[in-house]
Amino acid sequence: MMQKAVIAAIDWGTSSFRFWLLDQAGLPLAEVRSDQGMASLRPEDYGPVLEEALNKSSAPLNMPVLICGMAGSAQGWQSAPYVDLPANLSKLHEAACKIDDIDRDVRILPGLAQRMPERPDVMRGEETLLLGATLAQGVEERTVCLPGTHSKWAQISEGEVKGFGTSMTGEIFSLLATSSTLSHFTEVHQEVAKDPHFVEAVAEGLSSPGDLMQKLFSVRAGPLLFGQQVAEGATARLSGLLIGTEIAAFGKKHEEILLVAAGKLSEAYATALDVAGIKFQQVDAEVLIRAGLRYAASSIWPERFSQ
């Protein structure tokens, strides 16, 4: 049986552009990746970037396009208003917005908003990944951890997102590791998951999350007082303190969570969840985001998935 592309699917984030041509089953037949994310684009740049990717991947004419992520924010291509919680993931597509300024059927999925005055929160892109998790992993009742620049922890119940929280873990790590008085001792691209200082620091973050701002200074004071050996573990220590503190705030024992990540980040969180004694199942984010985009597209353009 010949595979045939029925849809173009894009995860268009702050700093990345990930484009796939998908067949009816959601399998990727072509892929284009770049760093042409929202942060580097004006609204009028999105159309040409999209058309270039369609050309590069030899997409058939009139291919419809479904986008998720920051391209749908007020600073993106066109604003796709948030869907409020509790959010039924299987109906995300009903709030998709059609792009006005392009001669092609292009739609952007909405983000989610938690409009609680005491815990306001927003996400864009992760909702599509959560939709994918309910489909690919059969997640009906689960806490999902999506680590990153802004880690998201979402509670899914009965196929709805009931609540979520954001931890600025990755961004704070990056600021401290590159632009602070700690950065003399840290390297951003170091592998941390196997460093014993990482495990030790995760445990410290877990046991006293309220002491984070104090513990962070030990990343500097330790090497000053105890020398080079400690400096080598400084990046691992910084990362461990932050991730341990994050898990203390969001993780719950006696529940298996779904960890959605890849590469080094995935290893670090897997190690940290082990230290915390939290069971988890690990899945790759891109598989889930394609599953989410495929499902939403099949609801928007059912005729393309039924031929």
d(C-alpha 73, C-alpha 190), whole Å = 32
Asked if residue 296 lies in contact with residue 132, where contact means CB atoms within 8 angstroms, the answer is no
Answer yes or no: are the C-beta atoms of 270 and 295 closer than 8 Å.
no
If binding is defined by CB under 8 A, does position 246 make contact with a second copy? yes
Is residue 138 near a second copy by the rule CB under 8 A? no
Rounded CA gap, 123 and 229, in Å?
Answer: 40
Q: How far is the CB of 89 from a second copy (least distance, A)?
A: 20
β 65-68/7-12 pair status: parallel
Of these, 137, 180, 190, 282, which contacts a second copy (CB under 8 A)?
180
Of 169 and 271, the one with the shorter C-beta distance to a second copy is 169
Q: According to CB under 8 A, which one of 105, 209, 232, 270 is a site residue for a second copy? A: 209
Cα R_g (the chain), whole angstroms = 21
Residue 253 lies near a second copy (rule: CB under 8 A): no
CA–CA separation, 3 and 152 (whole Å): 35
Stretch that binds a second copy, among 95-103, 130-138, 161-169, 185-193 (CB under 8 A): 161-169
Closest of 128, 124, 176, 170 to residue 151, by C-alpha: 170
Residue 30 C-beta: closest distance to a second copy, Å: 32
- Rounded to a whole number of angstroms, the minimum distance from the CB of residue 208 to a second copy is 8
CA 216 to chain centre: 25
Which runs of E-coded beta strand occur in 23-148? Answer: 28-34, 65-68, 83-84, 87-88, 97-98, 106-108, 112-114, 121-123, 141-146
Of 141, 217, 229, 252, the one binding a second copy by CB under 8 A: 217
168 near a second copy (CB under 8 A): yes
Q: For residues 114 and 134, which CB has a smaller minimum distance to a second copy in the complex?
A: 114
- What three-state secondary structure class fits 107? strand
The only residue of 83, 216, 259, 268 in contact with a second copy, by rule CB under 8 A:
216
Piece in contact with a second copy (CB under 8 A), picked from 92-100, 128-136, 212-220, 292-300: 212-220
Residue 135 or 259 with smaller CB distance to a second copy: 259
Burial class (CB in 10 A: 0-12, 13-18, 19+), 87: buried
CB of 180 to a second copy, least distance (A): 6
Q: Among 2, 61, 62, 179, which residue sits at the site for a second copy (rule: CB under 8 A)?
A: 179
Question: Which residues would be at the binding site for a second copy (CB under 8 A)?
Answer: 82, 113-115, 117, 119-122, 150, 165-169, 171-172, 175-176, 179-181, 209-214, 216-218, 221-222, 224-226, 242, 245-246, 248-250
